[in-house]
Amino acid sequence: MIAIRKILPVLLVAFLSCNESDPEVVPAPIPEEEEEVILCEQSICWDQSVYVCKDSTYINLFTQSKGWTGGDATYSVDLKNGKTLWMFGDTFIDQVSEDRSRPSFKLISNSLVLQDGLTLQTFHGGTAVQPKAFAIPPETSDWYWPGDGTIANGKLYLFMHGFGTGGGGAWDFFRTSVDLLTINPETMAIESNVRLFDDPVISWGANIMEDTDYTYVYGVLSNSSGKSLYVARTNEDLSVAWEYFDGNTWSTNPLDAESLFKGVSEQFSVFKDGDVYYFLTQNNIFGKQISLYNASAPTGPFEDGKIVYCTPETGGDIFTYNAFAHDHIYSDSLLVSYNINSFEFNDLLESADNYRPYFVRIGGWRKN
């Protein structure tokens, strides 16, 4: 997630802003009827075995002027009831004019958006007028950015990463904790919050991959040599003592964990399709290339990498980052999101569409 705290025909959707007071139903404008144009493209930038279409359904679904109107991270969890929960980091609530500019700049550090068909419902703390983050850490000076989540035993288990700041500006922040929230998926009420790691060097919970015998929890270690991928395993509700992959076998000592892959982005996806494990990551220094690797085991080695998309928005002050695969959305193609942002503060005020997720649908991505 990138800190900005200082620095398609339109679909008919109902967008609800939920808080501790009255939820408000805001109908989207009804568009004039016209034939939908599916925007597909091909480029020498990505592997010629794949084809890519901009996903107008999800681009339009997340083009909003009320309730949630912008955010990054863009995690998703299949709630196993026909609904999808989206988790966002720094979030705008409302604050969009008719011309898509932003009249103000007020962020909350995290929010949840529940998708039921083409209906979205936003969950945050506070009120619609004075919103607060959905989840707040015990340390009042810190904030949460979300990690991944999973459904087990009728509960949603959601990682939240605590962050603090050294006071040196927008980029002077550091991870202070990794916490695990248990949430009722019917009401989105937080039932418990358990501290797993203090001052972690690895971002455990940045990705979760459910498999037959274990649930795998991935994280990233960032240092002067770059970003490296690590993995642990546990049971489906994450309650059994974790084991960490040491390069050959599994150890109960987290200090034994060894890197699986070097050059990963801060946020990424590991998922399974058939008997193949896939790893999707974006160039980790604000690059435009999104790459997909495969392996025969959740521990890798992840090989046969190919570029599956290059984000066209990247350039000048505009950058994109932290692509995710949402493999439960489609069966015939792979939905991938990426976040757009700007190094120039005024860009975010000029257009709400300069800080939000975009979506593409990728075909031909599976291993032959």
What's the confidence (pLDDT) of residue 305? Answer: 97
Tens-place pLDDT, residues 228-263: 999 999 999 999 999 999 999 999 999 999 999 999
Decide if pLDDT at 169 tops 90: no
Query: 176 with 198: CB under 8 angstroms?
Result: yes
Radius of gyration of the chain (CA): 20
Reported as a single tens digit per residue, the pLDDT across 54-67 is 999 999 999 999 99
Position 44 scores a pLDDT of 87
Lowest mean pLDDT among 32-41, 109-118, 190-199: 32-41
9: pLDDT confidence band, cut at 50, 70 and 90? very low
- The rounded mean pLDDT for the chain is 90
pLDDT in tens, 86-100: 999 999 999 999 999
Spatial CB neighbours of 178, under 8 Å, sequence gap ≥ 6? 147, 159, 160, 161, 162, 195, 196, 197, 200, 203, 204, 205
Q: Give the confidence band of 39 by pLDDT, cuts at 50, 70, 90.
A: low
Residue 131 CA to residue 17 CA, distance in Å, equals: 10
pTM for the full model? 0.90
Q: Is 61 within 8 Å of 365 (Cβ atoms)?
A: no
Counting residues of the chain whose pLDDT is more than 90, the rounded percentage is 83
Q: Is the pLDDT of residue 19 over 80?
A: no
At 286, the pLDDT band (50, 70, 90 cuts) reads confident
Is it the case that residue 105 has pLDDT exceeding 70?
A: yes
Q: Residue 175: pLDDT above 90?
A: yes
Banded pLDDT at 2 (limits 50, 70, 90): low
| pLDDT single digits (tens) 202-220 | 999 999 999 999 999 999 9
Identify the residue whose tokens are 């409302």: 94
Percent pLDDT > 70 in the chain is 88
Which residues does 151 contact at the CB level (< 8 Å), separation at least 6?
Answer: 77, 78, 79, 80, 157, 185
SS3 content of the chain, % helix, strand, coil (to 5): 5, 45, 50
